[in-house]
Chains A and B, each alone.
Chain A
Amino acid sequence: MRIRVTLSGPLREYYKSNRSAKNEFIEMPQGANVSDLLAGYGIPPQKVHLVIVNRRKAAVHDLLNDGDHLWLIPLAAGG
């Protein structure tokens, strides 16, 4: 299945294409979850504060579906 991945802020260093990408598409096997995707990227889970799938909060054990847009976001604050 095809997943659209957006890596926010410092996590963009983990893009497979290039660090200035806005997002990229990757292939994942059926039944893969967020944790599998993190492992595929080599992103330590503690660097990810929020996982958003299709604009909703998700957990690392949540299963992914074909066409999902997944955002990985570090701890951030505005103001």
Chain B
Amino acid sequence: MNGWMGTILTVDLTAEEIHKERLDPELARMFVGGRGMAVKILFDRMPVACDPLGPENMLVFVNGPMTMSGALSSGRYMVVTKSPLTGTICSSNAGGYFPAAFKTAGYDAIVICGKSEKPVYLWISDAHVELRNAEDLWGMDTRKTVEVIARATHRQARVACIGPAGENQVRFAAIINDADRAAARSGVGAVMGSKNLKAIAIRGTGGVNIADPEEMLRVTVIADHIKKSDLGFAFKEFGTPLFADVMNAANIMPTKNFQEGFFEDADVINGAEIIDRTLVRSKSCYGCPLACGRNTRLPENAMYRGRGDGPEYETIYSLGSNILVGDLDALTKMNYICNEMGMDTMDAGTTLATLMELFETGRVTEVDIGFPLPWGDAERCIQLLQMIAQGQGFGRQAGLGGKYLADAYGAPEVFMGSKGQGFAGYHPRAMVGQGLLYATSPEGGNHTTGNTIQHEINGIPEPMDPLTPDGKPELVIMRQNETAFVEACGVCVFPYMLMEEGIEILAGLYSAVVGIHHSENAVRKIGERVFNLERVFNSRLGFSRKDDTLPRRLTEVPHGEGIGEGNIVPLEKMLDRYYALRGWGPDGVPAPAKLAELGLG
């Protein structure tokens, strides 16, 4: 097969059995790969009502037909499972070099089932697949785990693993690959920990067949202009932290648990400050000219020590402005801890923000936590992050996430998230389409399923009023469908969702790789199919309109000064139109006619 490797690997940890099967061409045609193929596999093979942390849940590592194809920014993979944070389907996405090894070892997907009696890791060297004892690795941080496994297997092995947070089933535990890249969201690391699977190490030496290399080259030349553009330059020089300036200047940067949109100290935790203080070099994933990663080191005069990657913009918001930490060194240290312990920086931050507000209002006390937790206290945040990862003291409770804490301490309205997952760094009161996105994302408050910033903030391809609901259901549906296709392909959303003609280019590249022509609309239809199947998965679990919600802070409390002054998110009005345009019932459940149209009947 062109693009696909043609093999799905299934590892049953309970039975200690390894099974290889040929990829069904119909599965590939309908769902492509990545997030799309994985949700179909889970839907067909797993009882959807299973306990996310029980042995019945399956954990699917998956790449796409475009991964390692030579297409721009094609070094991505995903982890798809039922989330212990939200109880929904989820897909967590990462770059680095592990995805390339995974693909070239010869597999489209690795399906992990059951639960191992003892800690193990999976070693794959092309066709060779083996489960190895990992008892000595249990408790080890992610950086050390990568080093030890590479020594024990092969120096070219690429490793995806969990840290102590995953082992302790922290509900927002991540899977870290190549030491610094994170499949971070939705608690996929906790699922891996529940299975006693410490790591997957892979060495791949194969290649990917391309149907039409000449056409591929032609489209790639068109796509290459992005790296020479001002945006491409800004990405490489400043990375995503540059966006902190945009958000703060416009009063849209979530601050103090979304109570405000402007952080006084944002200019000491932004992209320029990183360059001047901590940046070692820009860092790219496989095959990406954008190199938006930040490889950093804390300077000699810092209070903390460490070296690693980050922070990205989302971390600047979540562990910076949203908890009032205006100290780049402390913020970077917290980022390193999250990477080393294997936790999502975003839900670590929204959990801390929830706790700080609960502490400020007296619902959680110094006695509960073991120390006071006022806004901006970086030292205490660092201490608490370690406790969460290690499951110590109050950290065990905090590791259940912000929604759990807000509910348990009688103030559900202070958790800033949807379906149990904390929001990303965009204040929806000043960009209401993003609010609709958060409410309708299959995995809760996640920006990666169809970010609207390019339209609502950057005004590309044309200016759009971010404050009104007009056109937002249409926009969100288009972005969600396009993103679902991008993530089914196994490429990065950045170039393809930021270039004006990104989907057209991706459709051309996909056609060249697999050898079957697909128009822009054809690939959007594939994305729509994937998104709808995720919705059906959730609907089977009872999720519906009642769960497509936002906190009252966003729908009832007017925004402060700046672009969004006085604005709220008119969610219910947008939802009515969104469901109608989706072909779903007013309860948000996909109608049979829509499912039949998409081949999901």
A residues apposed to B, CB below 8 Å: 6, 8-10, 12, 20, 22-23, 47, 49-50, 52, 55-57, 71, 73-79
Contact = CB atoms under 8 A, between A and B. Distances in A.
A79 B276 contact: no
B238 A10 contact: yes
Nearest to A51: B249
B245 A8 contact: yes
A55 B251 contact: yes
A15 B249 CA distance: 18
A14 to B, nearest CB: 13
B267 A6 contact: yes
A73 B249 contact: yes
Contacts of B249: 6, 8, 50, 52, 55, 71, 73
A73 B246 contact: yes
Contacts of B247: 78
A49 B245 CA distance: 12
Contact of A49 (B233, B272, B458): B458
B290 to A, nearest CB: 10
Given A12-B272, A23-B267, A52-B250, A76 B561 contact: no
Given A20-B276, A56-B562, A79-B451, 14 more contacts: A9-B237, A9-B242, A9-B245, A22-B267, A22-B268, A52-B250, A55-B250, A55-B251, A73-B245, A74-B230, A76-B234, A76-B243, A79-B313, A79-B494
Contacts of B233: 10
A35 B215 CA distance: 44
Contacts of A73: 245-246, 249
Contacts of A20: 272, 276
B162 interface: no
Nearest to A8: B245
A76 B245 contact: yes
B169 interface: no
A55 B250 CA distance: 5
Given A8-B249, A71-B245, A77 B238 contact: no
B563 interface: yes
With most chain B CB atoms within 10 A of its CB, the pick from A55, A73, A74 is A55
A38 B243 CA distance: 21
Interface string B237-267: 1101011111101110000000000100001
Interface of B: 230-231, 233-235, 237-238, 240, 242-247, 249-251, 262, 267-268, 271-272, 276, 312-314, 425-426, 447-448, 451, 453-454, 457-458, 493-494, 498, 561-563
19 contacts: A6-B267, A9-B238, A10-B230, A10-B237, A22-B268, A50-B246, A55-B563, A73-B246, A74-B234, A75-B230, A76-B243, A76-B246, A77-B240, A77-B243, A78-B243, A78-B246, A78-B247, A79-B451, A79-B494
B493 A79 contact: yes
A71 B425 CA distance: 20
A54 to B, nearest CB: 8
Contact of A76 (B242, B312, B451, B563): B242
A50 B251 CA distance: 13
A6 B240 CA distance: 18
Give the 6 A-B CB pairs with smallest separation, nearest first. Answer: A78-B243, A55-B562, A8-B245, A71-B249, A78-B313, A52-B249
A77 B262 CA distance: 18
A57 B451 CA distance: 21
A75 B562 contact: no
Nearest to B494: A79
Contact of A78 (B251, B276, B453): B453
Nearest to B561: A55
A74 to B, nearest CB: 6
Contacts of B240: 77-79
Contacts of B314: 78-79
Contacts of A12: 272
B230 A77 contact: no
Contacts of A22: 267-268
A46 to B, nearest CB: 8
Contacts of A78: 240, 243-244, 246-247, 313-314, 425-426, 453
A8 B563 contact: no
A74 B229 CA distance: 12
Contacts of A76: 231, 234, 238, 242-243, 245-246, 458
Contacts of B563: 55-57
A77 B272 contact: no
Nearest to B229: A75
B242 A8 contact: yes
Contact of A75 (B234, B244, B312): B234
A73 B454 CA distance: 14
B418 to A, nearest CB: 18
A52 B272 CA distance: 18
Nearest to B460: A75
A79 B346 CA distance: 11
A1 to B, nearest CB: 20
Contacts of A52: 249-250
Contacts of B426: 78
Contacts of B454: 77
B288 to A, nearest CB: 13
A23 B248 CA distance: 14
Nearest to B447: A79
A79 B238 CA distance: 13
A37 B240 CA distance: 27
A6 B273 CA distance: 14
A74 B233 CA distance: 11
A49 B563 CA distance: 16
Nearest to A69: B249
Given A55-B563, A74-B234, A79 B251 contact: no
Contact of B448 (A50, A55, A56, A79): A79
B276 A77 contact: no
Contacts of B313: 78-79
With most chain A CB atoms within 10 A of its CB, the pick from B230, B267, B268 is B230
Contacts of B458: 49-50, 75-77
A37 B535 CA distance: 51
Contacts of A47: 230
